Homo-oligomer: A and B are copies of this chain.
């Protein structure tokens, strides 16, 4: 038996990502988002949705670039703080002690301490309603060497991203592997 929650933005799980941008004074800024995800394979692209009222919205409209900075669980406090403060009033890099690195590829800063970074150039913007959707072409993905497997791929247990449960407003770490994709389904029969 199911309970109807009505027309709500309720879906599990949502990513917990920080978006890096420069403001008009070249000050690096960060904001935390959960409305985002990969949206195209060719060109490789990732979407984020922002309200016009955010400081980052103006930054990205002006620079046409952003980074996605994926925090590991040890940065849950920093990511949550970044989601509460505004770059209009506060230097969030200074407040959190995180280190901004100027991207060589796009006009946006990224977070040195976070294990996985996507550098993006805006290729489309879409007005949906309260939120504007930015579609960013992924120019490069950078991953901490220390989080790679022997095969050179990112290890989920070393990157240690976390998810946001909206409506219930809780963060959860990623747990154990439960199967290989394009494989475990063969064991259904």
Whether the Cβ atoms of B145 and A12 lie closer than 8 Å is no
Chain B residues positioned under 8 Å from A93 (CB to CB): none
Whether the Cβ atoms of A12 and B161 lie closer than 8 Å is yes
What count of chain A residues pass the 8 Å CB interface test?
102
**Interface assignment of A167: CB less than 8 Å from any CB of chain B:** yes
Given known pairs A40-B130, A118-B11, the reply for A156 and B177 (CB within 8 Å) is no
Number of copies: 2
Binds B, one of A20-28, A57-65, A71-79: A71-79
Interface residues of A (CB under 8 A from B): 1-15, 34-47, 49, 51, 68, 70, 73, 76-84, 96, 116-118, 123-124, 126, 128-131, 133, 135, 137-146, 148-149, 152-156, 159, 161-188
16 contacts between A and B (CB under 8 A): A4-B141, A10-B138, A10-B143, A15-B37, A39-B128, A41-B131, A80-B179, A81-B185, A81-B186, A124-B128, A169-B180, A169-B182, A172-B175, A172-B177, A174-B174, A175-B176
